Structure formats: C-alpha cells, structure tokens
Amino acid sequence: MKNSIRIFTLAAVIIMQLFTVVMAQEEETNEKPKERPARPAFESGLLFDNATTTLQPSKTLEMIIQHRFGSIENGITDLYGIWAPSNIRLGLNYSILDNLMVGIGTTKFNKMQDIQIKYNLLQQTRSNKIPVTVSVYEVIGIDGSADSKFGVNYKFTNRFSYFTQVIVSRRFNEKISLQIAPSFTHYNSTDSLVDHDRIALSFAGRFKFSPQSSLIISGDFPLQIQGISEIREEINETLEHPKPNICIGLEVATSTHAFHIYLGSSQGILPQENILYNQNDFFKGNIILGLNVTRLWNF
Amino acid sequence: MKNSVKLLTLLIAALAFVTINTAMTQKEGEPWVIPAKYKSMKSTIKAGDPSINSTGKELYNQHCRSCHGTKGLGDGPKARNLKTSTGDFSSKAFQDQADGEIYYQSFVGRDEMPNFEKKIADEGDRWAVVYYIRTMKK
C-alpha cells in the first residue's frame, strides 16, 4: 500500500513537472515578438494593366480610371496617338477583408464588363520568415459586343473570358520591389485561328527614387505552347501570335491617390485582352501613352 | 497700357485679399482631449532606430506633408484650404508633449485631421513617424 502511494506520488510529481515544462514553453512561445508584415511591395494594387499583391485595408473603396491613347506611330498627324481612338476603363474595388478584394469595371473597347477578385494567400514578413507575398487574382470578362460577333451558334456564355493569375512579389528594400506572375487565360469564344487558351508570364518591378515617386516597369509575355494549342503546328508557324505587352513609366503615390503616366504597347486594358490579342510590338514603335489614376476612401 | 496696369493691380489686390482673408479665417484648434492610455503609451521602437529616417520620413512625406509641410511648419499646399490651423511641429509647445500624445493626434485624429490607423497599420511604422516628427524640433 505504501509503495502504491509512493508510486502514485512520484507519478503525480512527474506529471506536474511535465505540465510545468509545457506551460513554460507555451509562455515562451507567447512572449515571442509578433511577426511584422513587410510594407507593401507596390504602392497600389494596380501597376499599368497588371495587378500587384498590394491590397488595401478592409472597408476601403478604390476608384480606378485607366486610359490608353492610340499608338504614337502616326506622329504629329494624330498628335502621337492623343487624337486617335482611346480605350478607357472605369473600375471600383472594395476590400472586404485585409486580404480579400472584389471589383467591378467597364471598358470602352468591346464594351467589356469585368468582375475581379484578389486574395492574399501569404504576406511577406520583415523577419523574412515568409520571404514573399503571394496572391491569387481572377478576372472574369463579359464582352458586350453585338450577338453577331460570336457567330451563328450564339450563346450568352460565348461572351465570357477568364484570366487566372498567381502573383508572387518581394519587397527587397525601401527602393526595390519585384514581382513574377504566371497566368492562364481562357476565352469561351474566339476566331477560328485564335486559341481559346494561353499561358503567360508577367514581370513587374519598381524603383522608388523619392518618398512619393517611382520608376515602374512591367512585361506580359504570352507563351506559345503547342501542347495546349488547338491549331496544327505547321499552321501555327504561319500565324502572328500575340506580342508581349511592355510598359515603362512613372508612379506618383500620395496618401489617397496613385498616378501612373507611362508608355506601353497593348491598347487593351483587361489582362486577358492583352495576353490573347495584343499585336502591338513595343520595339517596333507600336507604343501608346497611358494614364492611370486611383483614389481611395476608407470607411 | 494704363488699363493693363490697372487690371494687373486689381488682380494682384484681389489675390492678396483672398489669400489674407483665407489665412485670417483659419482658427486655432481646440486643446486636444487625449485618453490616459495614449498619454502613457510607450514606443515599440527605440529612439535612433534606422527606420525613423527611412520609413518614418517616407510615410510622413506620403501622408502628412501635403498639409503639415516638409518641415512640419503647417505650410503644406493643402493647409490653406483647412478651417483649422495645422500647428507647428517645430515649436516648443508641440515638442514638449509626450510621445503618446503625438501618436494619438497623428493616427487617431479628429475633425479635419483624418484617422491614419488604416493607412499606416504597423505599430512600429507609426512610431517611426512620431520620432521623425521629433526631428523637426527647432
């Protein structure tokens, strides 16, 4: 009996000791300094036509005006594209959560309507425990052109196009941020010699040279992958495939605005248009002047 | 020629009148009522932290400069459109306040002074701005 009491007491002491160790470890864990998220890699959620991993805080409304003039190649005849037909998009984004944004927009060319959603999966931390910010971004476009554009077997779903992207960005320091973003574009309806699907790779970068101003650059590179093409290789070799959309410009960001003035190649604004249909070649002088303005309201 | 001079004089007088009148109608702000928890608030970064002259300066220039001016003198381009004077960050009266009092005024705000808690979400970044404002002392 005495032995039993001794064993029981010993066991109780051991359990208490273990419990104390576990508690102490938990306290240590609690005392660890909280991971601080890195400051956003880009000032705005928009960089030219591209999305960035930057999301505004919850309950923030963002108004977006995107404007593309015509190509500068006709020179003074149309004042370097300023008098040429221009493309415009008006958009509204709303941050439901700190890491979830939804948006709607309307674009002049093809009367495109769009619904957007962006979700931050990972946030870069200052300790570099998480070295990058990762977002997923989806744009659903609805073409508002006349029914006849979609051929004889018209269905409403022919108007839909989808752009799905994973965006990975890193803020390297106060001045330099870079981003890489693979994407998949799908159109429900295209012309007979245009693929429905295309994979692309986008790059973006920023060099901040003053507290409010940055040099910004981006490139969207549509990839020609025969494995996902519906068109035979010998025909594909004869076709003009989409050209990269290259943009370079200046960003000025204030407390509530971001302003971009830049030179780019694609006149489309929605990313799926740029990936599948851009035929402007930046390096052959098919350059357009573009302007973006964003305005934020916090609630 | 005489008419042009008269017109120019009139324009300058009108501009001066509007500018002076606007400046004169701007009132001093009422004394701030600052909750006790902010008065005794302690910074999460140390004085002299490198982020003060990088992050603090950058955020000040992005969010504060347009009203408070580059040196905190209250002479930013937007200041003249406000009903209330933005004050002078270089003054002894301002700098004699506790860190937490400057923190409250800067980020919680009131009336024309907006709340910046969402725009500058990180606590350490806020303190970098407070300490950057401290460097404006004359």
pLDDT number for residue A83: 93
In chain B, % of residues over pLDDT 70: 92
Domain ranges of chain B: 30-134
Nearest residue in chain A measured CA to CA from B59: A211
Residue A258 sits at the chain B interface (C-beta within 8 Å): no
CA-based radius of gyration for chain A: 26
Residue A38 sits at the chain B interface (C-beta within 8 Å): no
Read off the pLDDT of residues A166-185 as tens digits, 9 standing for 90 and up: 999 999 999 999 999 999 99
Residue B125 sits at the chain A interface (C-beta within 8 Å): yes
Report CB contact under 8 Å: A174, B63.
no
Cα A293 to Cα A291: distance, rounded to the nearest angstrom: 7
pLDDT number for residue A19: 47
Read off the pLDDT of residues B88-99 as tens digits, 9 standing for 90 and up: 999 999 999 999
pLDDT number for residue A99: 94
pTM (two decimals): 0.82
How many H-runs (helices) and E-runs (strands) does chain A carry?
3, 14
Report CB contact under 8 Å: B55, A39.
yes
Residues whose CB is less than 8 angstroms from the CB of residue A220 and which lie 6 or more positions away in sequence, other chains included: A49, A50, A200, A201, A202, A244, A245, A266, A271, A274, A275, A278
How many H-runs (helices) and E-runs (strands) does chain B carry?
7, 0
Of A37, A57, A255, which is closest to B62 when you measure between CB atoms? A255
Residue A2 sits at the chain B interface (C-beta within 8 Å): no
Of A174, A211, A298, which is closest to B118 when you measure between CB atoms? A298
Report CB contact under 8 Å: A36, B54.
no
Interface confidence, given as ipTM, is: 0.73
Report CB contact under 8 Å: B122, A211.
no
| DSSP H stretches of helix in chain A | 2-31, 233-236, 271-277
pLDDT number for residue A98: 93
Span B58-73, average pLDDT: 92
Question: Which residues in chain B touch residue A299, judged by CB atoms under 8 angstroms apart?
Answer: none
Read off the pLDDT of residues B121-130 as tens digits, 9 standing for 90 and up: 899 999 999 9
Residue B115 sits at the chain A interface (C-beta within 8 Å): yes
B84-119 per-residue burial string, b: 16 or more CB within 10 A, e: under 16: eebbbbbeeebbeeebbbbbbbbbbeeeebbebebb
User: In this structure, which amino acid lies at residue B20?
Assistant: I
To the nearest whole Å, the CA of A263 is away from the closest chain B CA by 25
Read off the pLDDT of residues A102-115 as tens digits, 9 standing for 90 and up: 999 999 999 999 99
Question: Which residues in chain A touch residue B54, judged by CB atoms under 8 angstroms apart?
Answer: 174
Chosen from B49, B62, B118 to mutate, greatest number of chain A CBs within 10 A: B118
Residue A36 sits at the chain B interface (C-beta within 8 Å): yes
To the nearest whole Å, the CA of A57 is away from the closest chain B CA by 6
pLDDT number for residue A192: 83
To the nearest whole Å, the CA of A211 is away from the closest chain B CA by 5
Residue B58 sits at the chain A interface (C-beta within 8 Å): yes
Cα A117 to Cα A284: distance, rounded to the nearest angstrom: 34
Of B61, B115, B122, which is closest to A36 when you measure between CB atoms? B122
From the first residue on, what is the mean pLDDT of each consecutive set of 10 residues in chain A (299 residues)? Answer: 56 52 51 82 93 94 96 90 94 96 96 97 94 97 92 91 97 95 96 92 96 94 90 85 95 93 94 94 93 93
Span B68-77, average pLDDT: 91
Report CB contact under 8 Å: A37, B61.
no
Nearest to A92 by CA among A296, A298, A299, A264: A296
CA-based radius of gyration for chain B: 19
Question: Which residues in chain B touch residue A60, judged by CB atoms under 8 angstroms apart?
Answer: 118
Cα B57 to Cα A91: distance, rounded to the nearest angstrom: 32
Q: Which residue has the tokens 């937490």?
A: B100
Q: What pLDDT band is residue B9 in, cutting at 50, 70 and 90?
A: confident
Cα A168 to Cα A41: distance, rounded to the nearest angstrom: 10
CB pairs under 8 A between A and B: 31
A188 membership: H or E segment, kind and range: none
pLDDT number for residue A20: 46
- CATH code at B30-134: 1.10.760.10
CA distances from A259 to A24, A108, A292, B132 (A): 52, 20, 6, 26
pLDDT at B105 over 60: yes
